[in-house]
Structure 1
Amino acid sequence: MASVQVLCLTAGFLHVQGRDDCQRPASSHGRIFCHSYKEVTEDSRVIAEEVPIEVLRQREAKWLEMLNSWDKWMAKKHKKVKERCQKGIPPSLRGRAWLYLTGGKVKREQNQGKFQELDEEPGDPKWVDIIERDLHRQFPFHEMFAARGGHGQQDLFRVLKAYTLHRPEEGYCQAQAPIAAVLLMHMPAEDAFWVLVQICEKYLPGYYSTGLEAIQLDGEILYALLRRVSPVAHRHLKKHKLEPILYMTEWFMCAFSRTLPWASVLRVWDMFLCEGVKILFKVGLVLLKCMLGSQEKLKACQGLYETMERLRAIQPQYMQETFLVHEIIELPVSEKDIEKEHLAQLRRWKETHGDLHCKSPPRMHGAKAIMAAEPPSRQDLRQRPTIIVESPLAPNTAAEQAEDTKGRRKTVEENGKETLLPPQQTDNLNPPPSDSSLLLNHTNIPGSKESLSSAEHDTYL
């Protein structure tokens, strides 16, 4: 019987890893997460930042301009792209922006039909069984995933199963499920699949592989960076021998999607997909500093258990999006700092554990690095709308106008009237304003703050 090693148990997070792959039964082959969702109470609810509608419309226009010339902006104005990601991507364009930032758009265009092929394959039964058992655990109160067997759970299954076929040597890790679920809230299944591929292979390589070596290494990097950012917190964790993997595994593997309030999750992901894993390190450092960074705060943490409880129940004000984003931007941690510490920790790992068993590709720090490594063609970046809807304001063709006029004439004759409306009136009894923006300004949709129009016929804006 295969021996089993428990690597991590914290905050409702369990990861079990067998050592002998060839002898493990299918039911224990996967990595197992046991998640518990906290109820949102009035005391713990964090109010999301309200962006004025005029500002939101201006940001939408700027993002549409960038997406239409993505390669030029990334090559010459990447700093501006980063600043706009830090301000927050407009909700109506977030899915498309994530697709472009990660390089998922290029992957999709270069692998036309690949997702459909994987989707039609039955999948490995050992992974299919684990995935099916996990579906109802992902955001169970979200309307997409609330119904068992609903369209959200079906798409989630398709994406996760396709990944196990795309990377059979890696298979399925249950931390991938919340990542895929967040993506599906913003884009169709095929796009979500390719963004998931990019996150697993470019942003977080090795995170979801057997052994959790990559996440353990990053835990040591986080611990080393904490010594510089908050010596008080570092000494406290060292004193109580609180290993990083006990508190940061779920944070990093799920990209904080199960830790932060939703508004903060989206802002963190906007920056993470633009700048890379540096953002996850910064979020972790900010939370550790805020919760354990002073002697006053440590009075209630006299031991390992109390410290773990404190990190499990992070105070809402530290997770509020405006505060958190400001702290992330101001924290002086760069890609060079992370890579320097990565090399140091890698040397120590080899001294104590030997060579890494997981040979994952090198990590890429964000959208610019990915685009530089895999330069896209203009064809790859060309917009391809998924659903085209004809505008009700679109002018009729000449044939349709003639048919419409004929029908009007027949109706008038049947009613016994001899007069006809002038041609300019029969064409359109209620002509739209010449400026389409005037129409938008006078179109009231109660309770809606989403974009009413786009330069492209794309429903997944």
Structure 2
Amino acid sequence: MAKSRGENGPRAPAAAGSLSGTRESLAPGPDATAADELSSLGSDSEANGFAERRIDKFGFIVGSQGAEGALEEVPLEVLRQRESKWLDMLNNWDKWMAKKHKKIRLRCQKGIPPSLRGRAWQYLSGGKVKLQQNPGKFDELDMSPGDPKWLDVIERDLHRQFPFHEMFVSRGGHGQQDLFRVLKAYTLYRPEEGYCQAQAPIAAVLLMHMPAEQAFWCLVQICEKYLPGYYSEKLEAIQLDGEILFSLLQKVSPVAHKHLSRQKIDPLLYMTEWFMCAFARTLPWSSVLRVWDMFFCEGVKIIFRVGLVLLKHALGSPEKLKACQGQYETIERLRSLSPKIMQEAFLVQEVVELPVTERQIEREHLIQLRRWQETRGELQSCSPPRLHGAKAILEAEPGPRPTLQPSPSIRLPLDAPLPGSKGKPKPSKQIQKEQKEQQKQAKGYLDKPPTPNQTKMASAAGDACPPQDVAPKDPVHQDPAPQDSAPQDSAHHHSRESLTSQESEDTYL
């Protein structure tokens, strides 16, 4: 990789091994050995069935690196109010996105309720629309054999993803199986990109909140809309964003910027895993979820803001730099950040208040792209333009898009009583009105004596046609109109055949 220059000459380049390693195998975490021991336990139920093994509210084994200590709990009453507000937004999503997007952004900054986080991520990212526009596509990819070149690499990486989470604790468990399915499907969906190991923790986080098919389409949106080019073979997009981050740091924290320039430390040495994994392998889990809530709503500027906040508070004062006299000490400081600056409430507040906008990022992107072209030539991989969050993704959706409506998990016949109700449900006023009109028409037709011509026609028709079943007299139980019957039958069939894709998101509530 070509060297990039700082203020005082060329910065220390990222080692070729570390950069290419991001493409194929990010270094396993410190718990890799213990993870191998846990992964030999067999099925997930066996692994989680021991009495001494307790699970925290995020699904991590208590006492492991991923688990957290005491957390600030949201009062139950406040949580229920937030759930009610989010349910209203999700049930009227298009209206809210069109007229009240700022309100959605504020609620994402406060944190999405855990029970609705998976559904909200699908709606924010556009993954829900992608799924509706491509019915059966994931199943088709899932049934395909896949490229052996990528399958071997994916299988080697499965046990490294959150090995102390209950979904991924067992080698060959349901979590690792779904992770394999999602990553294999992406290599078939985008064979020109293939597989990058940084996609594995992204997909794993998604699988903790939604079924495999929904997780696949959210992964597609992240790779194509939020972080385009991040996972391509040359990793040019992440290198450009490293230069953008370093330039923005000069305005946010001149002290940190000057120190990194003096030490000639390439941004790729500290920001590659941050950005490519969206901090999923860096921050405490409660902070990861809050960052992702804002990231899905507002786009990559949240990733930039988090990186700038961490750099500012890790290297932004002379006192903090006393222990960072050389390159090694500085990089170690950034690899073992203080828990205080990563704490959920502190980090989110700093990120929300940091004045870094999409316009600044795009302006700096053009500057860095021009410098790249002057020193290295044209980019070898052509990535689609980056879209900054849910609003931009919605506006860029080509052509007519299906209206997002919540799908109930259980469909009842029109005349079936609701569970717990007495008798049959009362029909609506509109239905009652239509029933009365039908009764009047039928009565008038029967009371009116037939004319001779009608008698002859009826007799001829009776001779030509076999007798038909008599329609029921009760209009309430009449069959619906022909134009309505086909979609309803299709809906019933779809509900039975693909509960794991369309409706199974309700099980994650």
Q: TM-score, normalised by structure 2?
A: 0.72
3-state SS of the aligned residue for 2:508? coil
Aligned partners of 2:410, 2:231: CA distance in 1, in Å?
37
* Contact map agreement 2:83 2:113 (CA 8 A) in 1: yes
Equivalent residue for 2:420?
A: 395
* Contact map agreement 1:15 1:32 (CA 8 A) in 2: no
Cα displacement string for residues 173-216 of structure 1 (whole angstroms, at most 9, x for unaligned residues):
00000000000000000000000000000000000001110000
Aligned partners of 1:389, 1:32: CA distance in 2, in Å?
46
Aligned partners of 1:261, 1:48: CA distance in 2, in Å?
11
Equivalent residue for 2:508?
A: 460
1:151 to 2:199 alignment: no
* Contact map agreement 1:127 1:172 (CA 8 A) in 2: yes
1:211 to 2:234 alignment: yes
Equivalent residue for 2:140?
A: 117
Cα displacement string for residues 132-189 of structure 1 (whole angstroms, at most 9, x for unaligned residues):
1110000001010011111000000000000000000000000000000000000000
Equivalent residue for 1:428?
A: none
Name which of 380, 385, 388 aligns with 1:362. 385
- 1:56-455 correspondence runs (5 A): 56-374=79-397, 379-385=402-408, 387-388=409-410, 394-395=419-420
Following superposition, the deviation at residue 119 of structure 1 comes to 0.2
Q: 1:128 to 1:89 in 2, by over 3 A?
A: same
Percent identity over the alignment? 70
Aligned partners of 2:116, 2:273: CA distance in 1, in Å?
28
3-state SS of the aligned residue for 2:362? helix
1:34 to 2:82 alignment: no
Aligned partners of 2:399, 2:90: CA distance in 1, in Å?
14
Aligned partners of 1:316, 1:132: CA distance in 2, in Å?
32
Aligned partners of 2:411, 2:285: CA distance in 1, in Å?
31
**What one-letter code is carried by the residue in structure 2 that aligns with 1:358?**
S
**What one-letter code is carried by the residue in structure 2 that aligns with 1:129?**
D
Larger Rg: 2
3-state SS of the aligned residue for 1:458? helix
* Contact map agreement 2:14 2:266 (CA 8 A) in 1: no
Q: How many residues align?
A: 383
* Contact map agreement 1:119 1:162 (CA 8 A) in 2: yes
* Contact map agreement 1:105 1:380 (CA 8 A) in 2: no
Equivalent residue for 1:418?
A: none
Q: 1:374 to 1:327 in 2, by over 3 A?
A: same
**What one-letter code is carried by the residue in structure 2 that aligns with 1:308?**
I
**What one-letter code is carried by the residue in structure 2 that aligns with 1:114?**
K
Aligned partners of 1:375, 1:62: CA distance in 2, in Å?
29
* Contact map agreement 1:155 1:189 (CA 8 A) in 2: yes
Cα displacement string for residues 27-57 of structure 1 (whole angstroms, at most 9, x for unaligned residues):
xxx6221221469689x95643310000000
* Contact map agreement 2:129 2:402 (CA 8 A) in 1: no
RMSD, matched Cα: 2.5
**What one-letter code is carried by the residue in structure 2 that aligns with 1:460?**
Y
**What one-letter code is carried by the residue in structure 1 that aligns with 2:506?**
D
* Contact map agreement 2:94 2:403 (CA 8 A) in 1: no
Equivalent residue for 2:441?
A: none
Aligned partners of 1:101, 1:45: CA distance in 2, in Å?
27
Following superposition, the deviation at residue 313 of structure 1 comes to 0.7
Aligned partners of 2:366, 2:221: CA distance in 1, in Å?
23
**What one-letter code is carried by the residue in structure 1 that aligns with 2:100?**
K
**What one-letter code is carried by the residue in structure 2 that aligns with 1:173?**
C
Q: TM-score, normalised by structure 1?
A: 0.79
Equivalent residue for 1:16?
A: 20
Q: 1:215 to 1:337 in 2, by over 3 A?
A: same
* Contact map agreement 1:46 1:261 (CA 8 A) in 2: no
* Contact map agreement 2:119 2:505 (CA 8 A) in 1: no
* Contact map agreement 1:388 1:458 (CA 8 A) in 2: no
Following superposition, the deviation at residue 397 of structure 1 comes to 7.6
